[in-house]
Amino acid sequence: MKGYAGAKASHNAAVVNTLLYGAIAGLAMGIAALTVYLLHDQLREPADSPGGSLSHPHDGIIAIEPPLALPDFTLDNHHGGATSLSDLRGGFTLLAFGFLHCPDICPMTLNEMQRLRDMLGEAAAAAQFVFISVDGARDTPEALDHYFEFRDMRDMLGLTGAEATVRKAGDILGLSFAVSAEAATSGYLVDHTAGTFLLDERGRWIRRYHFGVPARAIADDMLRIING
């Protein structure tokens, strides 16, 4: 009987240990799942997002609600004149920031903006596509004009100017940029915020499109907005 009692006690202890280990493992998995969810949510929604609530109609597309007004600014355009934010009001504006010596992201973004114009069809008449340089020292109006002509981007508006003015234009959008320490054959690179920003007809920020969002998804979203 003692042997039976001892065996039963050992069996009960084993069952308790199994249940305990199972509970601990389940708790650990739950904590891990919660951590992954929170990290994923944090990555989807930038920590430095400005005021206003943010919704996600599509992964990588952030709706700014309520829309945020940008301070007016004036920069040199690639036609040799000057353009202010107030000049762009009356139509929707898709903004991108970058620099002409960029080896990858900027050319890809500009190509996507060209594709977006084609995808919008007749609705493209209600939109303006604007590229703002974060490298005013090299990206002169003449350099922008030559670049757009060479790449057949005459329907793009290029803006450039003093660093302080560009920062004023992009601060509320969460734009950051700085000369990179990485060497480049072009002399230097500029680290900067990627993606595009949509302004409404009143010049207010209403959408953030992260870099890498398919052009079709952006075009569909813009069409819904333009067509009301």
Residue 95's identity, in one-letter code, is L
Residue 100 and residue 29 in one domain? no
pLDDT at residue 192 is higher than 70: yes
User: In the predicted model, what is the mean pLDDT of residues 8-31?
Assistant: 45
Q: What is the pLDDT of residue 57?
A: 52
Same domain? 127 vs 221: yes
Q: State the pLDDT at residue 178.
A: 87
Domain extent, residue 37, equals 1-44
156: DSSP letter? S
- Counting the structural domains of the chain, the total is 2
Higher pLDDT, 123 or 58: 123
Residues 169, 98 within the same domain = yes
Q: Which of 17-26, 37-46, 204-213 has the highest mean pLDDT?
A: 204-213
In a shared domain, residues 139 and 27: no
Residues 36 and 105 in one domain: no
Residues 39 and 130 in one domain: no
> For residues 195 and 190, what is the distance between their CA atoms, to the nearest angstrom?
15
The answer to whether residues 98 and 189 belong to one domain is yes
Provide the mean pLDDT of the chain: 79
In this prediction, residue 147 carries a pLDDT of 93
Same domain, residue pair 72 and 162 = yes
Can you tell me the distance from the alpha carbon of 86 to that of 204, in angstroms, rounded to the nearest whole number? Answer: 11
pLDDT of residue 155: 86
CA distance 89 to 203: 5
Amino acid found at 196: T
| Stronger pLDDT, 162 or 47, i.e. the higher one | 162
- The CATH number that applies at residue 200 is 3.40.30.10
Between 157 and 154, whose confidence is greater? Answer: 157
| 102, 160: one domain | yes
- pLDDT winner (highest mean) among 44-48, 127-131, 193-197: 127-131
> What pLDDT does 191 receive?
85
Whether 157 and 213 have beta carbons less than 8 Å apart is answered as no
- Average pLDDT of span 130-148: 94
> Cα 53–57–60 angle (5° rounding)?
90
- The residue out of 44, 63, 79 marking a domain boundary is 44
Q: Say yes or no: 183 and 102 in one domain.
A: yes
Helices (H) and strands (E) in the chain, counts: 6, 11
- pLDDT score for 34: 34
**Which amino acid, 138?**
R
Check whether 53 has a pLDDT greater than 90: no
Same domain, 219 and 125: yes
Question: DSSP secondary-structure letter at 184?
Answer: -
Same domain, 19 and 84: no
Give the model confidence (pLDDT) of 67-121 as tens digits: 999 999 999 999 999 999 999 999 999 999 999 998 889 999 999 999 999 999 9
Q: What is residue 40's predicted lDDT score, i.e. its pLDDT?
A: 33
pLDDT at 36 over 80: no
